[in-house]
Structure formats: C-alpha cells, structure tokens
Structure 1
Amino acid sequence: MRKGMLSVAAVAVALLPALTACGDDSASSANSGTPTRIGVILPDSKTSARWETADRKYLQQAFDAAGVKADIQNAQGDKNAFQTLADQMITNGASVLVMTNLDSGTGKAVIQKAKSQGVTVIDYDRLTLGGGAQYYVSFDNVKVGNLLGEGVAKCLTDKKAVNPVVAYLNGGPTDNNATLLETGYDAVLKPHFDAGDYVKGPDQAVPGWNNADAGTIFEQMLTGQPNIGGVVAANDGLANAAIAVLKKQKLNGQVPVSGQDATVQGLQNVLAGDQCMTVYKAIEKEAAATAELAIALAKGQPGTSNGTVRDPEANADVPSVLLEPKPIYLDNIKDVLADGYVTKAELCAGEFVKLCADHGI
C-alpha cells in the first residue's frame, strides 16, 4: 500500500500550483461551457465531528478557490438518503461524484449507477469494497492503525504496566477503514501478546461507529474483564465513550486509551490525561487532493495518483492518493493548532483554559 507514496508536504506543495492553475476556466466544461458540477456526499455528523467541521469546510474552500461549482451534502447516516442524494446529483449534471460510503453495499449500488451514467466516482476517505470506484483518496489507514498501537504501547511503557490486558474497540464492521486500522494496530501489538508482555483482551467492533453503542459495549467489556489496562479505540468518539465508562469507575487516566481524528474533544481528553494520544490527519490536505483530482476529471483530464490500494473483494488495485498521518501526544498538541485544524479558542475553553496555560498553549 505504501509503495510510491508521497509525503504530506510533497502532496501539499504539488497541489498548490494545480489548484491555482484552474482559474476561472475550471468553472465550465471544456465542451459545453456549462458550469462544472461535482457532487460530494459525506456520511453523517454523529460518528465524528470531522465531517461537518473539517471535511465540508475544506472541500468547499478548495472548490471555491478553483471557481468550481460543487454540491456538498450529508446523508446523516441514512442509506436511503445517501442513494437519493447520489441520484439527485447525477440528474443535476454532476460528472464526478465524491463519496464517503455508509457501507460497501450501499456504496457499491451508487457507484454502479453512477458509472452507468458516465459519472466518475472518487471514494473519499473510505474504500467501497467491490464498488469499482475509479479513484480513492485517503490516509494510509494501516499506518494510522500502527500509530494507534504504538501509542498505547508507549503509554503502557510510560506507566510501567505489568502484563496489562489490552482491549480493542474497533470501528464499524462494514467499514473497510476499520479493518485496515485493526490490521495496523494488531501488527504492532501482536508481538507483545505473543511474548507475554501484554494479554489480549476483548476485541469487538462498534456497529456504525456509534458512540453510544461503544459506551455500552465497553461497559460490558469492563464488567467481564475488570483488569483492562489499555484500550485501542479506533477513533476519538469511541475513545471518549470508553473514557466516560472509565470515569464512572475512577479509572480514567490510569488506563491508556488511543484515538484518532484529533477532534477538539479528543485533544481535550489528551490535555486532561484521560486519553493517551490521538492521530492527526491533515484533512485540509486530503480535501485539497480530492478537489484537485475531481476538478481534473470533471474537465476531462487524466487523474493522477501516488499509489494503489488493494480491493480484496474486487481483487483489484485502485489508483489512490494516500497521505501520511501524524501521532499527537500531550507534548505536540501545538502542531494541530499550528496547522489551523483546531483553534486555541475551541481547545482552551472552560475547564481547559488552565490546562492549556499549564502546558504552554
């Protein structure tokens, strides 16, 4: 998966002239002079705050900067709404469809219909298994998983934990990203299990990445195995659900919990010492890469990629643009603020004012 991958910095630099070069003429197709239309379907706003607070904003900014007309909608977790939005976008003249599927079944149906209408599809952030999208733009999710595993291992070492039980709170079972993430963190932690350093604890997926369900699932895990000493949570929302349960047992801060997405909540949990680390994915760069690719395709130009990702269901390699994630611990939270992904006002609010000051933020 990593073969030929560019660094985030290289991708970002490469995008700037491409977006600038689009100019006003990118707003019209090469043949008809009608506005270029790109449809974007985001999955929901409950499983992670990123979809509305980051992805929508950065995608819109990228399309606006290029003078391209785009329709960005959110399916809000509704599979029927997802398909309806896709139909509407195709009917309204979209020549490129950018989508983050709710599951591969729904995504596959949308992709097949789009392709039958001559519409090019970009899988955004999640690969639709067996779907046949022409392109995929995301972060290297196995690498994200590696960082989650390394984070928990580092924090267990810092705490001098002895034979800790490590639980997995995985993402949605129908999301290929969740599979890639677990592949990544299990690759890091399995040698520790095999060596007897750690004990493999409960390992369970959270349907639809639902945070409320995650709390119930983790509470059951902790009831069944009260000596859980570390938790690999597949994103910040799931991590926060586990932390809420740990707080009830006065175990928060004692049990390292990982997460990803560098949400405000996740970063605040890191500041408070309740979350070991999070993984920052520069979504502005992901959105910019997606916009550049979508604009080129909408103008009838060839798309470019920096690698491929294997679709095991289709037994095919999907041309991909893959970006590098970054681990965030207490000592480098400032990196997320420096990027403008989260503001100091958002992070250092209420009870976190003093914590920010204490840590020089």
Structure 2
Amino acid sequence: MRKGFLTFAAVGLLAAGGVAGCGDQSTSGSQAGGRAKKPKIGVILPDSKSSARWEGADRKFLKEAFDAAGVASDIQNAQGDKSQFSNIAEQMITNGATVLMIVNLDSGTGKAVLEKARSQGVATIDYDRLTLSGSAEYYVSFDNEAVGRLQGEGLSKCLADKGVKKPVVAYLNGSPTDNNATLFKNGYDSVLKPKFDAEEYTKGPDQSVPDWDNAQAGVTFEQMLTQTKGRIHGVLAANDGLGNAAISVLKKNKLNGKIPVTGQDATPQGLRNILAGDQCMTVYKAIKEEAKAASDLAIALANGERKETGQTVRDPESGRDVDAVLLTPKAIYKDDVSDVIADGFVTKDEVCGGEYGKLCADAGLS
C-alpha cells in the first residue's frame, strides 16, 4: 500500500505494549479445559455471489497471513446457506479450532455460532460485519458510515455533472439482515436526506435487496423503472454487484451512461463500468489491510495473547462496546482507477482485457 492511501483508525494495534496474556475462557484461544491445544484458526466467509471480494481477495490474503505466521488455518465459504454456516462452525470447533473468525449471514445465526464457540473456549472475531448482540472479542471492518457518505457525495457530484434539476434518486440498498447495509444507508442518507428535505432532489423508490442478490436487484430495479415510468435520474446502489444489475437494466433501455450509478468494492466489473461511463464511482476498501488487521488479532489469540486496538464500536442492540479496528475507505472515480490497480487489489489485465483495452488506454492505463 502506498503511504497515506489507507490509514488505521485504531492507532497502536500492533504496539508491543498492547499485548497481554489471556486467561479467561473467551480469550484463551490456545487452551481448552486447562489443556494446551495447537493453534488453529477457522474462518467462515459468507458467499461468493454477493461480491467477488470474498473468494478473490479475503481468502487469499487471510491464508497468506496465516501461512506466513506458521499457524494452521481452515477457510470455508457458507455460500449463503445459514444451515451450512452453522455446520461449518460446528465442524471447525470439533476439529480443534482455537480461534473462529466469521462474516455472518445474519446476526441470529452469527450470534448462535459465536456463543457455541465461546462455550468451547474458542476465541472469536467478527470480520467485516458486526454480529448484533454477539459475543465476538474483536470486530474488524471499515468505517461503514464513511463508505455510505462517500457514495452519497459521489452521486451528488455526478448528478451535478449531468446538470439535472431536481433529480429523482432511487436506492438499491444492501441486505436487510446485514448491519453493514444499515450503516451504509445511514451514511448516504446523511448526505442525500438534506437535499430531499430542501427539495433539491426528489426521493424515488427505496428498496433493500435480500442477501445482496444481484439477480433480484435487477428485477427490483426494472420494477422501479416501470413504477416511475423511467423517471429516475440517479441510482444509489450499495455495492458494485447491485450497481451492475441496475446498469444491465439501463443498457436494455438504452439509458446507461445517462443515469449515474454508485457502487462499492472496486471490483473489476465496477471499475470497467466506471471506465465505460456507465457507473459514476465506487468505494475502494483495501481488503489486504482489513485481512492483515484481522489476521494479526487472530494469530495473537491463537497464541494465547490479546492485542489492544485503542478503539471500540458500540453494539446498537446489546449496548456492548466491542474492541474494534476500523479502516478508512476511498472514493474511486474514473481518474482514480489506476490507484486501485497500483495497490495490487486488481490487476490491469482483469480491468483492461478485451473491449476495455481502448478505454484503459484513453484513461492513461496503457
């Protein structure tokens, strides 16, 4: 990562003075029933449909970190199945995991898994999504309200560039069971609601997409266009997958490029859409840094140690303060696509292959 491109909100995470022994059941990691266990870290990813990041980035970066530390690991994907999520957790605990890191599918399932792990003396981390009323010892993610603010500001900028007066703005929100989706919406509402209130913008359809399902997002957006008789001037899509679903519908109606669409995750598809002029912007979250922060904590717990993060996040349901590391996101517009490639998050070939070669050359990426 280039210096200054991404910063830790939690200063002192890796400070040597922040490490202390862990003696209780919830943080012992490498002990169970008074008997030393070989450190082993289990990770449950949520799916591979909602975003390319889970298999394309998170798995790779976490595995590399665990291997470099010489700690055994087991990384599995629940593929959006709550029963499978629970079964994987049970299997990992049975097979000797001393630390369990999860990206929950919903807080109910996640909470049950965390409580089961805790009862077996397995240390726990919420990765990317906070499990509401959960018992994880750490939460590692990005500042998700800041992500939403960047999306709201991005859409406002792109609407201003289009020069539309009193534009109608539609929302394609993330999954209603994902607390991150709530935080994203809090962020972009903080930017857009004052514009609705001042009647600078008109609030259009506002719908959540269950399980971040891209196919469902396409159906939902098509219904939005029909409902408004095509009178939508901007789309606040909560991630690149939902954004691409909307863009596919706009292409069918020959409206792509005319209606700004936001995104998140800086996926190759999202970046190509930006280069093509079909997507206004995306939000880049350097997954390598998120994976590093989480793996550092997991490795410490696996070795019976605890690191201080210097930061907490309040669980809105339980009121518990959870030790946290939050990272800083970055807005990506057409001129910034090269930054994501230079950071090694995506390759030039992934973005600039085939028909996108000329667009990349025009953008100075040749």
Whichever residue aligns with residue 146 of structure 1, its letter is R
Assess if the C-alpha contact under 8 Å between 2:312 and 2:321 holds in 1: yes
Alpha-carbon distance in 1 for matches of 2:11, 2:348: 26
For residue 308 of structure 1, report the CA deviation from its aligned partner: 1.7
Per the normalisation by structure 2, the TM-score is: 0.91
Alpha-carbon distance in 2 for matches of 1:284, 1:184: 23
Alpha-carbon distance in 2 for matches of 1:279, 1:7: 13
Look up the match of 1:199.
202
Alpha-carbon distance in 1 for matches of 2:117, 2:13: 27
> After superposition, what is the alpha-carbon deviation per residue over 1:20-62, rounded to whole angstroms, capped at 9, x for unaligned?
xxxxxxxx95997753100000000001010000000000111
Look up the match of 1:357.
361
Alpha-carbon distance in 2 for matches of 1:13, 1:59: 21
Alpha-carbon distance in 2 for matches of 1:205, 1:187: 17
> What residue ranges of structure 2 are gaps of 5+ in the alignment?
17-28
Whichever residue aligns with residue 246 of structure 1, its letter is L
Look up the match of 1:52.
55
Alpha-carbon distance in 2 for matches of 1:343, 1:333: 11
The counterpart of 2:251, out of the listed 217, 224, 247, is 247
For residue 13 of structure 1, report the CA deviation from its aligned partner: 10
Task: Pick closer, same or farther for the CA change 1:267–1:86 going to 2, 3 Å.
Answer: same
> After superposition, what is the alpha-carbon deviation per residue over 1:174-201, rounded to whole angstroms, capped at 9, x for unaligned?
1100000000000001111111110011
> After superposition, what is the alpha-carbon deviation per residue over 1:53-105, rounded to whole angstroms, capped at 9, x for unaligned?
00000001111111111110101111111111101111111111000001111
Alpha-carbon distance in 2 for matches of 1:7, 1:309: 23
Alpha-carbon distance in 2 for matches of 1:324, 1:203: 27
Look up the match of 2:6.
8
Assess if the C-alpha contact under 8 Å between 1:293 and 1:304 holds in 2: no
Look up the match of 1:348.
352
**Is residue 2:212 matched to residue 1:214?**
no
Task: Pick closer, same or farther for the CA change 1:126–1:274 going to 2, 3 Å.
Answer: same
**Is residue 2:228 matched to residue 1:230?**
no
TM-align CA RMSD? 2.1
For residue 7 of structure 1, report the CA deviation from its aligned partner: 8.6
Alpha-carbon distance in 2 for matches of 1:317, 1:247: 46
Counterparts of residues 124-139 of structure 1 (less than 5 Å)? 124-139=127-142
Runs of at least 4 residues of structure 1 off by over 3 A?
6-18, 28-35
Look up the match of 2:21.
none
Whichever residue aligns with residue 9 of structure 1, its letter is T
For residue 8 of structure 1, report the CA deviation from its aligned partner: 3.3
Secondary structure, counterpart of 2:193 in structure 1: helix
Alpha-carbon distance in 1 for matches of 2:287, 2:345: 8
Assess if the C-alpha contact under 8 Å between 1:215 and 1:238 holds in 2: yes
**Is residue 2:317 matched to residue 1:313?**
yes
Higher RCO (C-alpha 8 Å, min separation 6): 2
**Is residue 2:86 matched to residue 1:83?**
yes
The counterpart of 2:67, out of the listed 64, 68, 82, is 64
**Is residue 2:281 matched to residue 1:277?**
yes
For residue 252 of structure 1, report the CA deviation from its aligned partner: 0.5
Alpha-carbon distance in 2 for matches of 1:142, 1:312: 14
Assess if the C-alpha contact under 8 Å between 2:8 and 2:326 holds in 1: no
Alpha-carbon distance in 2 for matches of 1:290, 1:11: 14
Task: Pick closer, same or farther for the CA change 1:14–1:131 going to 2, 3 Å.
Answer: closer
Task: Pick closer, same or farther for the CA change 1:110–1:339 going to 2, 3 Å.
Answer: same
> What residue ranges of structure 1 are gaps of 5+ in the alignment?
1-5, 19-27
Alpha-carbon distance in 1 for matches of 2:11, 2:143: 19
For residue 297 of structure 1, report the CA deviation from its aligned partner: 1.0
**Is residue 2:177 matched to residue 1:174?**
yes
- Work out the percentage of aligned pairs sharing the same amino acid: 66
Per the normalisation by structure 1, the TM-score is: 0.92
Whichever residue aligns with residue 54 of structure 1, its letter is A
Assess if the C-alpha contact under 8 Å between 1:15 and 1:288 holds in 2: no
Alpha-carbon distance in 1 for matches of 2:123, 2:235: 40
The counterpart of 2:114, out of the listed 98, 105, 111, is 111
Look up the match of 1:333.
337
Whichever residue aligns with residue 45 of structure 1, its letter is S
Alpha-carbon distance in 2 for matches of 1:257, 1:146: 15
Alpha-carbon distance in 2 for matches of 1:15, 1:265: 34
Task: Pick closer, same or farther for the CA change 1:131–1:29 going to 2, 3 Å.
Answer: closer
> After superposition, what is the alpha-carbon deviation per residue over 1:292-330, rounded to whole angstroms, capped at 9, x for unaligned?
000111111113224222211112221110000000000
Assess if the C-alpha contact under 8 Å between 1:166 and 1:232 holds in 2: yes
